[in-house]
Structure 1
Amino acid sequence: MYSNYGKQIAQWVKADTNRLRALNIAAELNLPDWCLAAGFVRNLVWDNIFCTSKPSPLNDLDLIYFDKSNVSAHRDKTLEQQLRRKAALPWSVKNQARMHLRNGDKAYSSTVDAMRYWIEKETAVGVRLNEDSNIEVVTAFDLQLLFAGTVTLNDVKAQPDVFADRIATKNWLTLWPKLKIVSSEES
């Protein structure tokens, strides 16, 4: 079942010229354990399953990677500048090897491990190009949740106030009115 969802995501990314271009540009950095994550994939899936007439904009491109050898925030800013020179997009680059400090979590062991702590389960998904230039889906949770049209509070990071604030400020229920909110007690 996972592979069918993953194949569908790969097909949708390939059909989206803006996302495919961003993915190829990100791949040029050759970062370890990287992916374009969060809304890059989540919004694409929700646009497709809810048959949105106007696709949601690429208003935040979260490029995450895991590299213990250089955890400098300055490095991430430099990478963002490199990406912006190639494409004037809203890039956000974060090395997950240091993000546990900002988030107050135990040290992460990989990009997927870091995703396990994200507020919503459906956001913890990304795509990258593998060595053969094929699109690979990276996720911390079952993709079935994402395709169910839900947004689920992650029990590991159960912060209901932050969860509710993200739903409101990101305007998800306006963009996708059929989206179902699932609190931790229901998941």
Structure 2
Amino acid sequence: MLKNEKDIIAMIEKDQWMIEVLQIAKGLNLPDWWICAGFVRAKIWDVLHGFKRRTPLSDVDVVYYDRANIEESYEKELEQRLKMIKPDVPWSVKNQARMHLINSNQPYLSTFDAISRFPETVTALGVRLDEQSNVVLIAPHGVRDVIELEVNPTPDFMKEKYFLYEKRVKTKNWPSIWHRVKVNYL
């Protein structure tokens, strides 16, 4: 079914709704942009569980990296623009050039760097369309965990921040939706 990054890309390319959402996000022309986290993870898990309907998303995370403008108000403006185009999508826009302040981290160097520091390996995923509108996938910690339905902390959440990982996975309670998902604890 899904064995590697190529399979995930092919799966997304066949999903008209995901491609439409990616095209709309691409239209913002944001630097170093991606749609990440649950947008990718939920689709993978839905397919692996044989769901016929898409699991509703609490948000669609559009992330980008722009040190020139780190105003949160600009992110809200972008969200409003996206909502005007496609109001049925729960858009969330965040500039990763400022999110280190919220997350108490060292400044991120890029969107890839920020995504690599998400709490779970299965969340540290992003997709976008390149200049030719091909789907591109980033997975700083690989795709094995998401394909194997195993939730593990990223290296940033293995020690001092482990309690945040633990709290988050309990709150998310992914196995209540995707029954084969296994959350691993240290």
Shared topology, TM-score over 0.5? yes
Contact 1:167 1:173 in 2 (8 A): no
How far does residue 121 in structure 1 lie from its aligned partner after superposition?
A: 1.0
Checking the alignment, whether the CA contact within 8 Å between 2:141 and 2:154 is kept in structure 1 is: no
Residue of structure 2 in register with 1:46 after alignment: 45
Q: Identity over the aligned pairs, expressed in percent? A: 37
1:15 maps onto 2:11 in alignment:
no
Deviation at 1:19, TM superposition (A): 1.4
Cα shift at 1:8: 1.6
Q: Measure, in 2, the Cα distance between the counterparts of 1:42 and 1:109.
A: 24
Answer yes or no: is 1:37 the counterpart of 2:36.
Answer: yes
Alpha-carbon offset, residue 83 of structure 1: 0.3
Q: Deviations over 1:119-157 (max 9, x none)?
A: 101101010000111000022211112111111112312
For residues 104 and 63 of structure 1, the distance between their equivalents in structure 2, rounded to whole angstroms, comes to 20
Distance 1:5 1:24 in 2: 24
For 1:69-80, list aligned pairs within 5 A.
69-80=68-79
Question: Unaligned 5+ residue runs, structure 2?
Answer: none
TM-score (norm 1): 0.90
Matched residue type, 1:140: P
Q: 1:149-174: CA deviations, max 9, x gaps?
A: 11111231233433233333323111
TM-score computed with the length of structure 2 as normaliser: 0.91
Alignment coverage as a number of residue pairs: 181
The secondary structure found in structure 2 opposite 1:62 is: strand
Query: Which of 136, 152, 175 matches 1:173?
Result: 175
Structure 2 distance, partners of 1:102, 1:66, is: 15
Cα deviation, residue 66, structure 1: 0.7
Measured after TM superposition, the shift of residue 30 of structure 1 is 1.0
- Aligned partner of 1:143 in structure 2 is 143
Which stretches of structure 1, 4 residues or more, deviate above 3 A after TM superposition? 158-161
Residue aligning to 1:154: 154
The yes-or-no answer on 1:108 pairing with 2:108 is yes
Tell me, in whole angstroms, the C-alpha distance in 1 between the residues paired with 2:57 and 2:19.
12
